[in-house]
């Protein structure tokens, strides 16, 4: 294995192969829905082939073997010698899992663990035609002397066998010895030598160069002109011949790609997925003029072969060359550092805006306004560099749904919308696990078995819809199923059984509050525990995780119609829009995502319900919380004011009123972690520096209510 190879080459392989493997998971599930899609079959074949080629270059034998066996299966499929079946897809998907596991080991600079022998044997069995009689009758018997034109037409037949390759070499050697001048024969071994080569399964450099000349014509690649120039200059000396052979020893990657294209057909080479976007080298090295053509029979044949090939192949490569230079790979830590510096700049901007508003200098006002515009644009641009499409998460769900539906004997279609919606890279990674759990939950709990659906007058196959859209500075994610929905009465009964509520309190719960019971720790509606669900672990973790991302999760359900789960998360975690408030002479920041409305309140007109202070607004009852009593030291003994501001904040489906002394206004803040002494303080999400230079604590609303409410 060559993991100690050039780090840049290894990184290129990890990036390219990683993208291909991500696509393969989606393409394989898609293939099961559309088994006759030849473009999809070819794309999957090329995907495995490209990963195999890169792994072979790095001498990752375990990865090469597994990809090669999978590639052979798709070669049989695309030649219509076998049909796509769920059983075949199970084996192929298991192979992909093994390839992914090996790829992760390579990423961690570990030796890849070979795939189990049983899996390779299963793949090899699937790589044979369904009827074993067909290949014997259909196998083409190779012509005794195949011409180079015939070789070029073998692209549709997949790989060329070793025997066919040896016969091709023998035929070329015979043609050279029969029809060429002695000067041109210096590079080709005689038929006897060729036969010896056939016995040892080795091809010499000279034979390989001759094969290139035969396929492409003399002088088309860098090695050929050097050979002819030297041969003309020193025909009589052996030194010239040795020099020529040394120059022609090396074959470039692009020459090898073109040779593979000739043998296999366009797009089947090891780097088929990327070769189009890579710049091709100049046809001849600098200082070499175009070689004078010699009238040879082999050259005439090579020219006619080259003319028959599409001449436009190099053109896209030249057009695409500049595109490769417009991208650069940057370490995410560097982007995080830039984001932190932009955050500091935002704080300085806020400070200057506050100072500028106190100044009467017109020039100062203009300068601060310009700084505000530039800072806002810079902040947006830096945030954009960290953005990734949510497709990075969505791409794994077709496989998750397909495997789970098969294990539960259900029929489920997954529909995805808004895959190109961008959000912060850190959020993409953080949302992956909660979304996987919610999608699995929809398939397991939501969608009914096909027979049950049929009796209810529904299609046998259920549908789970996963969608994402941007709404202002937030992303809305929804998981919707057309299953059985949830029964509020069952949830009330379970809540009483689990001891979460007594019977009277449970009866007073609204349907919406019942649905939110599934987020309680240890709560499950399943009577039987399976390897998929039933332990009551998971939904509480999902809610906690979404809360940590300053997000909200809501659930709606209708019996017999289905369930919708809506998640709302900010675009980025680095900079947060907040409502600045004052409690006494201390500043605090409330995340704006939690704020619903603000109004002025006469504190003498409150009511007491169940021992809690409440207020009625538009026929709605909101419990009131005096944050000052909890947070500001010594405030409990002070006289209560008669008037105050109330900020209604939402936490899931609950809404409560926070009583505050003063409202300062909206401000974008950069979240700074709390120091060691304050870390883990309930109700505090972090700290920030306000526009007037003071430190303000950022309130974590869910945690605050949980610990003090």
| Domain-located, residue 663 | yes
From 525, 550, 570, the end of a domain falls on 570
For residues 466 and 479, the answer to whether their CB atoms sit within 8 Å is: yes
CATH number of residue 357's parent domain? 1.10.287.560
At 132 the pLDDT is: 56
Provide the H-helix boundaries in 359-424. 362-385, 391-394, 397-407
Q: Residue 162 belongs to what H/E stretch?
A: helix 162-179
| Domain-located, residue 1 | no
CATH number of residue 639's parent domain? 2.30.30.40
Beta-sheet strands, E only, within 243-397: 387-389
- Among 236, 352, 408, 450, CA closest to 689: 352
What is the spatial distance between Cα 561 and Cα 458, in angstroms, rounded to a whole number?
10
Q: Which residues pair with 499 in a beta bridge?
A: none
For residues 682 and 709, the answer to whether their CB atoms sit within 8 Å is: no
Shared-domain flag, residues 37 and 113? yes
What average pLDDT values come out for the chain (709 residues) when binned by 10 residues? 65 85 86 85 89 86 90 88 86 90 87 88 86 47 44 47 70 59 43 43 72 64 44 44 49 71 55 42 42 43 41 40 64 84 86 84 89 89 84 85 88 89 84 88 88 89 91 85 88 85 83 83 61 58 81 86 89 79 86 84 74 79 81 57 81 79 84 75 80 81 72
From 517, 536, 570, the end of a domain falls on 570
| Domain-located, residue 95 | yes
- What HEC string does 5-71 produce? CCHHHHHHHHHHHHHHHHHHHHHHHHHHHCCCCHHHHHHHHHHHHHHHHHHHHCCCHHHHHHHHHHH
For residues 173 and 278, the answer to whether their CB atoms sit within 8 Å is: no
User: Nearest-5° angle of CA 221, CA 226, CA 229?
Assistant: 125
DSSP label of 643: E
Shared-domain flag, residues 626 and 686? yes
Residue with tokens 């080795």: 202
Q: What range defines the domain where residue 313 resides?
A: 148-322
| Domain-located, residue 655 | yes
**What does the block give as tokens for 378?**
């810079």
| Domain-located, residue 2 | no
Q: What is the domain count for the chain?
A: 5
Shared-domain flag, residues 120 and 169? no
What is the spatial distance between Cα 575 and Cα 380, in angstroms, rounded to a whole number?
11
Shared-domain flag, residues 552 and 669? no
What is the spatial distance between Cα 651 and Cα 701, in angstroms, rounded to a whole number?
7
What is the spatial distance between Cα 166 and Cα 545, in angstroms, rounded to a whole number?
62
Compute, in degrees rounded to 10, the torsion defined by CA atoms 682, 686, 692, 693. Answer: 110
Compute, in degrees rounded to 10, the torsion defined by CA atoms 607, 609, 612, 618. Answer: -60
Shared-domain flag, residues 467 and 561? yes
User: Nearest-5° angle of CA 405, CA 406, CA 407?
Assistant: 95
What is the spatial distance between Cα 347 and Cα 375, in angstroms, rounded to a whole number?
10
CATH number of residue 419's parent domain? 3.30.565.10
Beta strand 422-424 pairing with 387-389: antiparallel
Shared-domain flag, residues 165 and 297? yes
Shared-domain flag, residues 549 and 410? yes
For 194-245, write each residue's pLDDT tens digit. Answer: 444 444 456 777 777 777 777 666 654 444 444 444 444 444 444 444 444 4
Shared-domain flag, residues 356 and 409? no
Kindly list the strands in the beta sheet with 620-626, ordered across the sheet, starting from the edge strand earlier in the chain.
595-602, 643-651, 654-660, 620-626, 612-617, 607-609
- Among 397, 439, 375, 458, CA closest to 670: 375
Shared-domain flag, residues 176 and 315? yes
CATH number of residue 131's parent domain? 1.20.120.160
Contacts of 216 (CB under 8 A, 6+ apart): 258, 262, 302, 306
CA distances from 20 to 29, 55, 63, 148, 402 (A): 15, 13, 14, 33, 20
User: Nearest-5° angle of CA 380, CA 383, CA 385?
Assistant: 115
What is the spatial distance between Cα 433 and Cα 419, in angstroms, rounded to a whole number?
17
| Domain-located, residue 610 | yes
For residues 151 and 263, the answer to whether their CB atoms sit within 8 Å is: yes
CA distances from 633 to 181, 581, 636, 686, 704 (A): 103, 17, 8, 19, 16
At 467 the pLDDT is: 92
| Domain-located, residue 143 | no
User: Nearest-5° angle of CA 193, CA 269, CA 227?
Assistant: 45
Please count the other Cβ atoms lying within 10 Å of the Cβ belonging to residue 163.
10
| Domain-located, residue 488 | yes
Phi, psi of 307 (to 5 degrees): -65, -30
What is the spatial distance between Cα 597 and Cα 649, in angstroms, rounded to a whole number?
7
Please count the other Cβ atoms lying within 10 Å of the Cβ belonging to residue 605.
8
Shared-domain flag, residues 579 and 565? no
At 564 the pLDDT is: 92
From 304, 322, 340, the end of a domain falls on 322
At 229 the pLDDT is: 44
Find the largest Cα–Cα distance for the chain.
Answer: 115
For residues 590 and 699, the answer to whether their CB atoms sit within 8 Å is: yes
Question: Where on the phi/psi map is residue 328: left (φ > 0), alpha (ψ -120 to 50), or beta?
Answer: beta
For residues 288 and 225, the answer to whether their CB atoms sit within 8 Å is: yes
What is the spatial distance between Cα 101 and Cα 111, in angstroms, rounded to a whole number?
11
Shared-domain flag, residues 105 and 166? no
Question: Where on the phi/psi map is residue 217: left (φ > 0), alpha (ψ -120 to 50), or beta?
Answer: left
Shared-domain flag, residues 12 and 50? yes
For residues 562 and 481, the answer to whether their CB atoms sit within 8 Å is: yes
Cα-to-chain-centroid distance, residue 433: 14
CA distances from 618 to 613, 615, 624, 671 (A): 17, 10, 15, 35
């Amino acid at each position: 294995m060559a993991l100690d190879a050039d780090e840049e080459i290894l990184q290129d392989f990890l990036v390219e192969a990683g993208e291909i493997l991500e696509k393969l998971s989606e393409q394989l599930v898609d293939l099961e829905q559309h088994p006759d899609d030849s473009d999809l079959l070819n794309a999957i074949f090329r995907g495995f082939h490209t990963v195999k080629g890169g792994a072979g270059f790095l001498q990752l034998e375990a990865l090469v073997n597994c990809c090669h066996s999978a590639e052979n299966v798709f070669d049989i499929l695309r030649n219509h010698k076998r049909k796509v079946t769920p059983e075949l897809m199970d084996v192929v998907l298991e192979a992909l899992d093994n390839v992914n596991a090996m790829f992760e080991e390579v990423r961690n600079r570990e030796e890849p663990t070979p795939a189990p022998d049983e899996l390779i044997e299963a793949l090899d069995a699937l790589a044979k035609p369904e009827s074993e009689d067909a290949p014997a009758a259909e196998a083409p018997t190779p012509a005794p002397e195949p011409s180079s034109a015939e070789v070029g037409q073998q692209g549709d037949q997949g790989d060329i066998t070793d025997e066919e390759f040896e016969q091709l070499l023998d035929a070329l050697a015979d043609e050279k010895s029969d029809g060429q001048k002695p000067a041109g024969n210096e590079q080709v071994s005689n038929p006897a030598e060729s036969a010896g080569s056939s016995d040892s399964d080795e091809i010499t450099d000279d034979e390989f160069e001759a094969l290139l000349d035969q396929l492409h014509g003399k002088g088309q690649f860098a090695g050929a002109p050097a050979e002819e120039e030297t041969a003309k200059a020193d025909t009589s000396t052996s030194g010239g011949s040795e020099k020529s052979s040394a120059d022609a020893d090396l074959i470039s990657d692009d020459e090898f790609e073109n040779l593979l294209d000739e043998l296999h057909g366009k797009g089947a080479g090891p780097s088929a997925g990327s070769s189009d976007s890579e710049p091709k080298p100049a046809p001849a090295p600098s200082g070499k003029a175009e070689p004078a053509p010699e009238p040879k029979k082999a050259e005439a044949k090579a020219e006619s072969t080259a003319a028959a090939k599409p001449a436009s192949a190099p053109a896209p490569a030249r057009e695409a060359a500049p595109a490769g230079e417009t991208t650069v790979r940057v370490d995410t830590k560097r982007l995080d550092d830039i984001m932190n510096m932009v955050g500091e700049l935002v704080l300085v901007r806020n400070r200057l805006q506050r100072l500028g508003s106190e100044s009467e200098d017109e020039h100062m006002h203009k300068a601060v306004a310009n700084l505000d515009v530039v800072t806002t644009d810079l902040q947006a641009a830096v945030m954009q560099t960290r953005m990734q499409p949510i497709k990075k998460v969505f791409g794994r769900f077709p496989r998750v749904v397909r495997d789970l539906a098969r294990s539960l004997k259900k029929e489920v279609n997954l529909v995805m919308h808004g895959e190109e919606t961008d959000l912060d890279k850190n959020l993409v990674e953080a949302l992956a696990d909660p979304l996987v759990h919610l999608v699995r939950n929809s398939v397991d709990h939501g969608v009914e078995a096909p027979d049950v659906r049929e009796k209810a007058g529904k299609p046998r196959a259920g549908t789970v819809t996963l969608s994402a859209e941007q709404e202002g500075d937030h992303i809305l994610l929804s998981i919707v199923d057309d299953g059985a929905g949830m029964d509020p009465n069952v949830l009330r009964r379970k809540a009483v059984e689990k001891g979460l509520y007594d019977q009277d309190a449970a009866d007073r719960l609204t349907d919406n509050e019942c649905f939110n019971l599934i987020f309680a720790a240890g709560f499950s509606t399943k009577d039987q525990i399976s390897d998929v669900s039933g332990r009551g672990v998971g939904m509480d973790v999902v809610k906690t995780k979404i809360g940590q991302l300053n997000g909200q999760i809501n659930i709606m359900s209708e019996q017999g119609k289905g369930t919708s789960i809506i998640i709302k998360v900010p675009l980025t975690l680095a900079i947060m829009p907040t409502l600045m408030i004052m409690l006494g002479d201390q500043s605090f920041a409330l995340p704006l995502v939690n704020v619903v409305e603000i109004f002025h309140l006469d504190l003498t007109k409150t009511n007491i319900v169940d021992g809690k202070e409440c207020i009625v607004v538009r026929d709605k009852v909101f419990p009131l919380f005096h944050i000052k009593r909890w947070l500001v030291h010594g405030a409990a003994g002070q006289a209560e004011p008669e008037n105050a501001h109330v900020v209604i904040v939402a936490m899931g489906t609950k809404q409560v009123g926070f009583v505050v002394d003063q409202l300062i206004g909206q401000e974008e803040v950069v979240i700074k972690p709390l120091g060691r002494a304050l870390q883990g303080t309930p109700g505090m999400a972090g700290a920030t520096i306000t526009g007037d230079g003071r430190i303000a604590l950022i309130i974590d609303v869910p945690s605050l209510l949980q610990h003090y409410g």
